[in-house]
Amino acid sequence: MAYSLGIDAGGTYTDSILIRNSDGEVIGSNKSLTTYPDLLEGIMKSIDGLNQEKLKLVTLVSVSTTLATNTILEKTGYPVGLILVGNYEIPEDSEIENCIMVQGGHDSRGDEVAPLDLSAVESFVLGLKGRVSAFAVSSYFSVRNPEHELQIKALIQELTGLPVVCGHELAQALGAYERGVTAYLNAQLLPVAEGFLKTVVCEIERRGLEPRIAMLRCDGSVVSMHEAMRKPIESVFSGPAASLLGASYLSGYETCAVIDVGGTSTDVSLIHRGLPYLSETGAVVGGWQTKVRALRMETSAMGGDSHIWVQASKTNIGPRRVIPLCRAAVLYPSFLSSLKKRWIPDKLKLNEHIQATKFFVRTKQEPVNLTREEKELLALIKNEPLSLKDIYWDRNILPSKKVMDSLIQKRLVQAIGFTPTDALHVLGEYTEWNSEASEIGATLLANFLGTEKQEFCLNVKRLFARNMAKDLVSFLMEGVDRNEIEKMLECSLFSRFKVDIPVVLLGGPVRAYIDDLKKVIDAEIIVPEYCKVGNAVGALVGKGTKRVEITVRTTYSESRYDMRTKGVFVYTPLGRRHFVLRSEALEFAEEFGRKLVLDYMAESGLSPDQVTVSMEKKDIMVQTGDVPLETRFIFEGISNSDVYEKAVSGHKDLCINPDGIEELT
């Protein structure tokens, strides 16, 4: 009997799940707290909770994570040098450091427009040697001819031995600056991805296992470990992609909307006929527009661990994640007594940090390059939770919010506070941690608003469910202003939004929000078994895929009266080839595209008979003549060697068409 192991390292929890290969049955799962900055402990504890005898029979391990996304959002990526080749328009608000623009580049036909200035590149690289962990390169029209990028890559490796990421290696879409951003972010993540995957590999090897190890990408496909370490940018949003695939698998629906409630955020996405609904423009991460193919989703900074705080008679949720009071009382033995001291701050001074329920604790992260103010504040924060009153008991002023924010962002300080998870503990709908701590916190916050703790927690729950509904409707009604949707939801006394596809909920205590969600959304709402570890399931059920684009372009005489061809160029991810006859160019493109797909799949351990390769061909015509100006080929290889089959035969599938949504029997 063989099994597969799925692992998802999220912002709050690390989940593991075992699936039996013969029938796809989930036979065990476990959750453990994610450990920062070293993820090993959380991964170990998560796997330890599974059946150890069945674990010995695992043949496949597939992982997903929010690590790449969080690294970009928190601006904690490694330093990188970026080289742009050609004449670029760089946005004024660009935050890219260590960047240079040098002469060179090609035109749309792949012909050189200016010689490459390698001397400028050499000076730039030697100036950064020892200060960066990698380099990124993007050349104008490198998708037509990557020669300049490859020359720079060879030079950098000769001078430094450091990794180099080229734009044409990550995307074949036009947009030289966006490819540069994609390469830059990818280079920042190389050490992060390597550390994470090596942690997984070492833990698997320590247990004496020898499975194939793969990783889920942000478009819902899986790649080999080698490919994942080479292109970590493609793991951005792999967590939401995993939730999407996991929700479909666990619910049995190949078409559904998914609301994934995590500790930090809530994500809404859509799967149609078993395939994620992808963004046409590429993933946007932390304000960076990239050329990474990723699923389209609606995300809000409101999760189960979002900080709930009061100010000016208003309840605020988020955007920061904190340790819930109920969990802090378990993690820190002295915390409950500190909470019982019931510090009551001045009502006029309340803000996100000055709260009766807000505490701070030192992490294990080592400080680097701190300002004087940061050093002074960090020295006052201990390894046990303290309120601001405890930290500044002998001073007349409280610390700057900006300085505290900086210490939290640098992961040197962890905040503790009241959360939606605490509200559910007070209401008795979720009792995993210490409910007494949650009740004390609810009482303190309710007193500031002049209400009872029960009513306060019910209101928190309603606000959370309404936010879930707002995210869902915003996603389905793309293009409609989110503020207008919020107004409609608030005014829907005798009406509800109708959603014609099933809505699957994933996350810890999501079942608690069903009734409040149904008050504003008319839909079939499903909470599948194992909803708490849906991402780990999704990490396993993605298909191995590879997409390759090849363009065949015909060049004509420059005379407007002479439309005879001068030759044909074939543009591939590995460079361009020239042909005299168009028929030969087309034949080469078809054969080479299929070969690239199968070669890639072979690196992932798949033989040609385990892969289905499809080809899409599109001709772009000119006004005169019968010969196309361009012929574009898109090759897509999909693994057909799943270790188990989805059990969807007992459910109805839903098909989206231009006129709406139909139900198919």
User: Which H helix or E strand runs over 308?
Assistant: strand 306-311
- Looking at every residue in the chain, the average pLDDT score rounds to 84
| C-alpha 150 chain-centroid distance | 29
Inform me whether the pLDDT recorded for 603 exceeds 80.
Answer: no
Peptide bond into 37 cis (omega under 30): yes
659 vs 206, higher pLDDT: 206
482 vs 121, higher pLDDT: 121
246 to 174, 239, 254, 504, 507: CA distances (angstroms) = 33, 10, 11, 10, 11
- Its pTM surpasses 0.85: no
Which pLDDT belongs to residue 651? 37
User: Which H helix or E strand runs over 14?
Assistant: strand 13-20
10 to 43, 237, 407: CA distances (angstroms) = 11, 11, 22
Inform me whether the pLDDT recorded for 388 exceeds 90.
Answer: no
Contact residues for 289 (Cβ-Cβ < 8 A; gap 6+) = 178, 181, 281, 282
Reported as a pLDDT band with limits 50, 70 and 90, residue 655 is: very low
Q: Return d(Cα 590, Cα 578) in angstroms, integer.
A: 15
99 to 138, 188, 362: CA distances (angstroms) = 11, 13, 35
Reported as a pLDDT band with limits 50, 70 and 90, residue 150 is: very high
Which pLDDT belongs to residue 286? 65
Which pLDDT belongs to residue 565? 55
* 186 within 8 A of 78, measured Cβ to Cβ: no
Inform me whether the pLDDT recorded for 561 exceeds 70.
Answer: no
Model pLDDT for residues 563-581, shown as the tens digit of each residue? 455 678 898 888 889 898 8
474 vs 662, higher pLDDT: 474
Inform me whether the pLDDT recorded for 12 exceeds 50.
Answer: yes
Question: E-assigned strands of 97-242?
Answer: 99-102, 134-139, 164-166, 212-216, 221-224
Reported as a pLDDT band with limits 50, 70 and 90, residue 238 is: confident
188: helix, strand or coil: helix
Q: Return d(Cα 481, Cα 468) in angstroms, integer.
A: 16
Q: Return d(Cα 228, Cα 239) in angstroms, integer.
A: 14
Judged by average pLDDT, the poorest of 119-133, 175-189, 324-338, 389-403 is 389-403
Inform me whether the pLDDT recorded for 16 exceeds 90.
Answer: yes
- Range among 110-124, 219-233, 298-312 rated most confident: 110-124
How many Cα atoms are found within 13 Å in the side-chain-facing hemisphere of 533? 27
Model pLDDT for residues 608-627, shown as the tens digit of each residue? 888 889 999 998 876 555 67
Model pLDDT for residues 83-105, shown as the tens digit of each residue? 999 987 777 767 788 999 999 99
Which pLDDT belongs to residue 645? 43
521 vs 318, higher pLDDT: 521
Radius of gyration of the chain (CA): 27
Backbone angles phi, psi at 73, to 5 degrees: -65, -35
Which pLDDT belongs to residue 663? 31
Which pLDDT belongs to residue 325? 96
| Residue recorded with tokens 């996304």 | 69
Backbone angles phi, psi at 20, to 5 degrees: -80, 125
Inform me whether the pLDDT recorded for 138 exceeds 90.
Answer: yes
491 to 477, 478, 482: CA distances (angstroms) = 18, 20, 14
* 418 within 8 A of 328, measured Cβ to Cβ: no
Model pLDDT for residues 309-368, shown as the tens digit of each residue? 999 889 998 888 899 999 999 999 889 988 988 778 878 778 888 888 999 999 888 887
Inform me whether the pLDDT recorded for 9 exceeds 70.
Answer: yes
Q: Smallest Cα–Cα separation from 625: which of 552, 571, 565?
A: 565
Inform me whether the pLDDT recorded for 117 exceeds 90.
Answer: yes
Inform me whether the pLDDT recorded for 267 exceeds 50.
Answer: yes
| C-alpha 156 chain-centroid distance | 30
Helices vs. strands in the chain: H and E counts, helices first: 21, 32
Reported as a pLDDT band with limits 50, 70 and 90, residue 394 is: low
Inform me whether the pLDDT recorded for 125 exceeds 90.
Answer: yes
User: Which H helix or E strand runs over 543?
Assistant: strand 543-556
Q: Return d(Cα 574, Cα 615) in angstroms, integer.
A: 19
The DSSP letter of residue 643 is S
Q: Return d(Cα 520, Cα 469) in angstroms, integer.
A: 7
Please name every residue paired with 314 in a beta bridge, in sequence order, or none if there are none: 311
Q: Smallest Cα–Cα separation from 257: which of 246, 244, 266, 274?
A: 244
Model pLDDT for residues 536-553, shown as the tens digit of each residue? 888 888 777 777 889 998
Q: Return d(Cα 440, Cα 457) in angstroms, integer.
A: 12
Q: Smallest Cα–Cα separation from 203: which of 45, 1, 20, 386?
A: 45
Inform me whether the pLDDT recorded for 148 exceeds 90.
Answer: yes
Which pLDDT belongs to residue 114? 93
Q: Return d(Cα 441, Cα 435) in angstroms, integer.
A: 10
- Range among 82-96, 116-130, 471-485 rated most confident: 116-130
**Interval 375-387 mean pLDDT:** 88
Q: What is the longest distance spanned by two Cα atoms in the chain?
A: 90
Percent of the chain with pLDDT over 70: 90
Q: Kindly report each contact of residues 146-150 with a partner whose C-beta sits within 8 Å and lies 24 or more positions away, as own/partner.
A: 146/574, 146/575, 147/106, 147/112, 147/575, 148/85, 148/104, 148/105, 148/106, 148/112, 148/116, 149/85
Dihedral sign for Cα atoms in the order 117, 103, 86, 188: positive
Helix axes 435-449, 453-476, angle to 10 degrees: 90
Which pLDDT belongs to residue 638? 81
User: Which H helix or E strand runs over 435?
Assistant: helix 435-449
**Interval 504-509 mean pLDDT:** 89
Which pLDDT belongs to residue 647? 37
Which pLDDT belongs to residue 380? 87
**Interval 418-429 mean pLDDT:** 95
Dihedral sign for Cα atoms in the order 580, 581, 582, 588: negative
Which pLDDT belongs to residue 649? 35
- Range among 117-126, 166-175, 217-226, 590-599 rated most confident: 117-126
User: Which H helix or E strand runs over 483?
Assistant: helix 482-490
Concatenating the DSSP letter of every residue in 376-431 gives: HHHHH--SS-B-HHHHTTT-SSPPPHHHHHHHHHTTSEEEEE--HHHHHHHTTS--
